């Protein structure tokens, strides 16, 4: 297995402490935002600025070592899972994001009806729904409301 130092060198990037720290943090926190990455790096590299993190993310993304995703209504997110054209599922309540492998079977949405002269290299699908935790919390709220509504008023 190639370590992060070799990955950076192989991508033609200088090996720096912020780049190594960012790769480690993104590995353990998939779908992280730049702000979350600044917070994650603060303990290890307290003088790292927001601007430096954005520069690191741009370099890592440009080199193909990190993938940037942009779910609607959410800040850009970063992950290390690259090169497989996987998709994402996003909770409409809390914003949690999960990876979804490419659709299997007949998937007409992955082949555009018109390319307008573009050479299509990837297709990105975002599934939207409610995660298990939010669905459970929502169900609990409904049950609590039903119990409260059926309680007689104190006299």
Cα–Cα separations (whole angstroms), residue 125 to 16, 32, 87, 101, 111: 34, 19, 5, 10, 12
Angle formed at CA 98 by CA 129 and CA 76, multiple of 5 degrees: 95
pLDDT digits (tens, 9 = 90+) for 35-93: 999 999 998 999 999 999 999 999 999 999 999 999 988 899 999 999 887 889 999 99
Q: Does this model's pTM top 0.85?
A: no
Whether the CB-CB separation of 6 and 15 falls below 8 Å is answered with: no
Q: What is the pLDDT of residue 84?
A: 80
When the pLDDT of each residue in the chain is averaged and rounded to a whole number, the result is 87
Q: What is the CA radius of gyration of the chain?
A: 21
pLDDT(106) > 60: no
């Amino acid at each position: 297995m190639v370590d992060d130092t070799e990955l950076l060198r192989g991508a033609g990037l200088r090996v720096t402490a912020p780049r190594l720290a960012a790769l480690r943090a993104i590995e353990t926190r998939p779908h992280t935002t730049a702000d979350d990455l600044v917070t994650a790096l603060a303990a290890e590299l307290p003088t790292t600025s927001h601007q430096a993190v954005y520069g690191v993310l741009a370099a890592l993304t440009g080199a193909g070592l990190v993938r940037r995703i942009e779910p609607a209504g959410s800040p850009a997110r970063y992950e290390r899972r690259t090169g497989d054209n996987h998709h994402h599922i996003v909770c409409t309540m809390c914003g949690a994001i999960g990876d979804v492998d490419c659709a299997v079977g007949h998937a007409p949405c992955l082949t555009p009806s018109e390319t307008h002269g573009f050479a299509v290299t990837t297709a990105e699908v975002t599934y939207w729904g409610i995660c298990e935790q939010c669905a459970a919390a929502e169900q609990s709220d409904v049950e609590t409301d039903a119990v409260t509504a059926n309680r007689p008023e104190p006299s």
